[in-house]
Amino acid sequence: MNKTAIIYSFNTKKTRKVAELIKEAFDSDMVEMVNAEEINESLFMSFDQIIMGVATWFDGELPNFWDEFVPALEDLDLSGKKIALYGLGDQKGYPENFLDGVGLMANILEKRSANLIGFTSVEGYEFESSQAKRGNQFAGLAIDYENQASMSKGRIDAWVKSLKQEFD
Ligand SMILES: Cc1cc2nc3c(=O)[nH]c(=O)nc-3n(C[C@H](O)[C@H](O)[C@H](O)COP(=O)(O)O)c2cc1C
């Protein structure tokens, strides 16, 4: 299997926790942890397989550090890149914007021809609307520590199992 990057902010708490659980679920030496706050085009492009941690902040917005990288992303040709998104959100606190960050990022990546993988079912979540929703799936993994913390580990393990079949 090729080396996979997990790109997430090292300064977050919950997003970082999920990154560590994802790394554990993979064979750890196949996965490289990369700080989203220090990402640049050449580092991003050096990986063929990328997992991105994208929480939703500010009522349906991307975290600042991802927002700052969006102009660079919009100039990249991502064809051939396999990218899987995981998001953190709060379905009870923000039912109209649940996991929107994943949807915003998915839209940007798809416009640049990335091969998005790792979609998951919306079953088991309660919310009103989400930009991450595609039919009856989210465009990535949805983790909600505020309301469904105990389900997180199982969701992460199942997701990694499915990613292992898609990654080279
Ligand atoms: C000010 C604020 C705004 C938020 N807005 C949203 C939102 O619009 N949609 C959502 O699903 N979650 C929202 N959340 C919940 C966070 O995404 C959730 O707490 C997540 O676990 C944060 O992860 P992090 O601490 O690793 O960044 C918000 C949280 C805060 C504090």
Closest protein CA for atom 31 of ligand 1: 57
Q: Find out whether the beta carbon of 145 lies less than 6 Å from any atom of ligand 1.
A: yes
The CA 62 to ligand 1 mean position distance, Å, reads 10
- The model's pLDDT over 73-127, given as tens digits with 9 standing for 90+, comes to 999 999 999 999 999 999 999 999 999 999 999 999 999 999 999 999 999 999 9
Query: C-alpha distances in angstroms, 99 versus 81, 83, 115, 139?
Result: 23, 17, 20, 10
The pLDDT of residue 65 is: 97
What pTM value is reported for the model?
0.97
